[in-house]
A and B are shown apart, each in its own frame.
Chain A
Amino acid sequence: MKRAFAALSLFGLVLAQEAHRVAITHPFSPVNRETNFLLVWVLVFSVLIFGVVAGALAYITWKFRAHPGQQGEPPQIHGNDRLEVIWTLIPVAIILVLFGLTARALIQVNQPIPGAMKVEVTGYQFWWDFNYPELGFRNSNELILPVGVPVELEVTSKDVIHSFWVPGLVGKQDAIPGQKTRIRFVAENPGNYYGFCAELCGPSHARMLFRVLVVPKEAFDRFVEAAKGYTPPVADARGQEVFQQNCMACHGVQGKMPPAVIGPELAFLGNRVSLAAGIVDHTPENLKAWIKDPAAMKPGTKMPGFPQLSEEDLDALVRYLEGLKVEGLDFKALPKF
């Protein structure tokens, strides 16, 4: 109970400062506006039908209650054929209208957009990989996209079925091993968008989040430029040593697709707004805690813990990792959706 009240008051605070406003109704892409349009239509019809039927129910409950001492039987009516026709045809008509709107919207939403920028999205247990084949760089867990540019995500998985969902921008598609699904949209609003895995995939299905960071085009172009010619900065020499001894077997820092993918790309870790696949805020403390004991934050994670690292080595490693970034970009200032 105490915990509940603590949590409740905490998110009053959180709400005031840091809360993401996640919603499927954000009109921040043409696709979302399309679904909002469908929602309006179905809600209008729903309110109508609900009103009529619930109204009938309320009327019945009030008007036809048996009174104490009531004699005889009510009229023994067996049916009304005309009524049957009416309450069959009206729903058919409503359904056909809604279906027509649905089919039109579906064709629209699934239409390939010529010239779309391609990003290869791959789901793993329990993180996300983003490869930009045309631009020649790779990032993990935070998908950086430009405002106003059509994007085509090619989504797949290398283990079990996951699902890629960023509600504030577009509907989801499943990430299926051996197959590719496609999500096409234009992000029209800068923001830090929460993303979620939406298909049960293991103990940390709830801890396989991500972010979509939509930035103005010129900021995106700057990032791409830096990423293409990226050499990982060495903010701490000892930290780099520790990294090479302990982390390099699974993690890359070049910002490019490795020959075999084992773990997330860390090239742009310093720029991240979140850690461990979107589950905690990016702070040095959280990073340190994660490295020491990943399983505590993410049950079933494949990343082992590193309790054997000394405090000094851990701090050096964190300094090194924080230094892996592209300068002049601040994603933390983006509005949170």
Chain B
Amino acid sequence: MAITAKPKTSAWAVLWDLLTTVDHKKIGLMYTATAFFAFALAGVFSLLIRAQLAVPNNTLLTGEQYNQVLTLHGATMLFFFIIQAGLTGFGNFVVPLMLGARDVALPRVNAFSYWAFLGAILLALMSFFFPGGAPAVGWTFYYPFSVQSGSGVNFYMAAILLLGFSSLLGNANFIATIYNLRAQGMSMWKMPMYVWSVFAASVLNLFSLAGLTAATLLVLLDRKIGLTWFNPDIGGDPVLFQQFFWFYSHPTVYVMLLPYLGILAEVASTFARKPLFGYKQMVWAQMGIVVLGTMVWAHHMFTVGESTIFQIAFAFFTALIAVPTGVKLFNLIGTLWGGHLQMKTPLLWVLGFIFNFLLGGITGVMLSMTPLDYQFHDSYFVVAHFHNVLMAGSGFGAFAGLYYWWPKMTGRMYDERLGKLHFWLFLVGYLVVFLPQYALGFLGMPRRYYTYNADIAGWPELNFISTVGAFILGLGGLVWIYAMWKSLRSGEKAPDNPWGGYTLEWLTASPPKAHNFDVELPKEFPSERPLYDWAKKGVELKPEDPSHIHLPNSSFWPFYAAATLFAFFVSVAALPVPNVWMWVFLALFAYGLVRWALEDEYSHPVEHHTLSGKSNAWMGMAWFIVSEVGLFAILIAGYLYLRLSGAATPPEERPALWLALLNTFFLVSSSFTVHFAHHDLRRGRFNPFRFGLLITIVLGVLFFLFQAYEFYQFYHHSSWQENLWTGAFFTIVGLHGLHVVIGGFGLILAYLQALRGKITLHSHGTLEAASMYWHLVDAVWLFIVVLFYVW
């Protein structure tokens, strides 16, 4: 860059900084900006929908095009806005600050997660520009409609899979951060409620995403190579798709709620000038929601003809989940009660949330009452219910967070009058749109209807009113955008702590410096309100010694890896499978991972002390593995269902047991060799370590070669289009093979690091993570041998 008289950052320099940043604050800002942009885009889609439905038999947006808009409205709001803003948006910016840390546990993985997220949005939206258009199957893409529908579905499936990588890595990163990087003296029970909520949401997502991954993968496989689990013509079960899909897609609404409950708790405490009411009960209630949230999914399936006892069980757990949710709500009210309420914009969103979520929760209980659900299911009552909780609930929470942390993130104050106007327009607009929709549900109007007849009493009037409300919301949206623009352009400079907040992020500058904290944090945390407690005790904050501050280096490779993976998914979605571009992009992706692995994370080697004693890589991988276990578990559960019900029977010619046993020998031995290699490393015996690692890789390669041979043989002597068992075999054993390749590649990365001298006694590089993953791969194999070769 040339030296100019007036130092000015070029656009290219800004872009390069963003592309290579590993700073959690910048990543958090990018996530937040992207997520709220997605909200605005999906909001425009909703205006189109409501405009079409304003009058009967309208012709603005009909048939397939209407279905495309409603699909993208749902998918964009759910996957790209609401699940991101509260979790990866604010979470990335705020959680390390709240914990007194300088960044998350795995900063480069964090950057990768963001770019993969952006890639997923691009994948979903680019479908518009291909001949098949955007997906038109609803965000729920039920089978068999989704395998018969146009090519937009391919892009949607690819987007979900790419987003899955992004979010699981993000979840694991948050948990590792929360376990390992808390300030000394801050026990888990002294963490801010928002951090607890990010923790709970991350655990829930890791555990349950497998359902969506399974459903998505199987639809994509069916579309691309005719491999099906659901086709009734060969004994498959369309309802199995729904079991997989909802196993995730119900818990995800709690992933879409919990972070916002956390935000609301913070805002309530700060603006009422009181501690949280019932902190411990809030934590337990949240965990109760996590557990119960995984046990209610089939309330989305009350009308598919499952047995009465099945329906009763799910009705029971669904109704029960109102209890911990109520506890959260009541404790929020308790936090406000008796306070000195500062009626600023963030608090207004909290009050609006409480009012709206009350109604949304009540209508949820109504939907749990199965015979009532037989009427309400797939009607506008459900549409009103989920917008009630997701928009006027979580969505209001997102805006509470935005206005609350806006000064911290941007360094500017916003105009209070505009903020309040935005709130009121959204509250009134929301009520005008959705209260009529509850009525429409009672009047029998189904959802996902592009039009309706004029001869049904009440429908035209209620729809018209609802549309008016949508335009009130649209107006509110414009006020919001103006408020942000005005603040960024000319808002007054924000002090460190404009609200008198009690948690550690308010100790930093607005916006924080790159290294976050300039002071050495005290080691006593009497409660979750450190700033309050320290002020009360008159604790003096000493400046930090600058030589103690170590920040990770920027890196191009996370972006590069995400971009090549994105390109891979484009080639899978847009072209017949397999195709040459898939391999090209995978190779480019692998190259990026090698460069990433060989790059130094820190300029000077730093001893990392983690609170748990386990390295960040270990902690991150351990939690990531939860999702892998979940994926195999759910697919195996589906396989067991198909096998035990007699739908899937092995064909006459099937892979031989002896070859599987030979492969078992390779894989099990390789677990031992990597274990002993790791042992050698810890004893400083570098040559045996490297050799052991190499042997492990060789054993893995042998496994892979024999497996490839077996697959080739079986593929040419079977047909997954005609035999369900064959499809299940290739899916699960094939998925395992993919994991062998990934795990083996991880070990190769460690080996390359070892060759370059980057693995030392104190820095184990990728080895810990790779060997843990490898053990998982081996353990899963043992199940597979029994389920597919012995049985």
Q: Which residues of A contact B (CB under 8 A)?
A: 3-4, 7-8, 10-11, 14-15, 18-25, 31, 34-35, 38-39, 42, 46, 49-50, 53-54, 56-57, 60-61, 64-66, 70, 73-80, 83-84, 87-88, 91-92, 95, 98-99, 101-103, 105-107, 109-110, 159-161, 163, 165, 167-168, 170-174, 176-182, 194, 196-207, 209, 279, 281, 299-300, 336
Contact = CB atoms under 8 A, between A and B. Distances in A.
Contacts of B450: 205-206
A42 B55 CA distance: 33
Contacts of B375: 24, 35, 167, 171-172
| SS class, residues of chain A in contact with chain B | mixed
Nearest to B369: A102
A88 B144 contact: no
A103 B316 CA distance: 9
Given A23-B444, A78-B275, A88 B355 contact: no
Contact of B275 (A76, A197, A209): A76
17 contacts: A7-B454, A31-B371, A54-B358, A57-B355, A64-B337, A66-B342, A74-B272, A77-B274, A106-B312, A106-B371, A161-B144, A161-B145, A163-B377, A179-B237, A200-B140, A209-B453, A299-B64
Interface in B296-336: 303-305, 308, 311-312, 315-316, 319-320, 322-323, 326-327, 329-331, 333-334, 336
B757 interface: no
Given A3-B55, A61-B351, A107-B308, A19 B457 contact: yes
B334 A178 contact: no
Nearest to B235: A178
Contacts of B379: 198
Interface in B398-434: none
Which among A7, A31, A200 has the highest number of chain B CB atoms within 10 Å?
A200
A73 B340 CA distance: 7
A77 B277 contact: yes
Contacts of B274: 73-77
Contacts of B358: 49-50, 53-54
Given A11-B56, A24-B375, A61-B351, A106 B62 contact: no
A39 B238 contact: no
Contacts of A106: 308, 311-312, 315, 370-371
Contact of A165 (B56, B308, B446): B446
9 shortest interchain CB distances as A-B pairs: A178-B232, A171-B374, A299-B63, A167-B444, A181-B305, A203-B63, A206-B449, A7-B55, A22-B444
A8 B355 CA distance: 32
B378 interface: yes
Given A179-B232, A196-B444, A87 B372 contact: no
B239 A179 contact: yes
B333 A197 contact: no
B444 A202 contact: no
B323 A11 contact: no
B17 to A, nearest CB: 41
Given A84-B281, A95-B323, A172 B377 contact: yes
A64 B455 contact: no
A11 B378 contact: no
B144 A163 contact: no
Contacts of A80: 277-278, 334
B461 interface: yes
A178 B443 contact: no
B343 interface: yes
B362 interface: yes
B656 interface: no
Contacts, number: 304
B279 interface: yes
B744 interface: no
B368 interface: yes
Interface string B53-67: 011101000111001
A81 B2 CA distance: 66
Contacts of B340: 64, 66, 70, 73-74
B442 A176 contact: no
Given A74-B339, A203-B62, 20 more contacts: A4-B55, A7-B55, A8-B464, A24-B375, A24-B376, A73-B274, A74-B273, A77-B338, A78-B279, A80-B278, A84-B331, A88-B323, A163-B303, A171-B371, A178-B237, A179-B238, A196-B446, A198-B378, A299-B64, A336-B455
A109 B371 contact: yes
Nearest to A299: B63
A275 B281 CA distance: 59
Contact of A201 (B145, B315, B442): B145
A78 B64 contact: no
Contacts of B446: 165, 196-198, 206
B442 A18 contact: no
Contact of B305 (A34, A35, A173, A200): A173
A277 B373 CA distance: 25
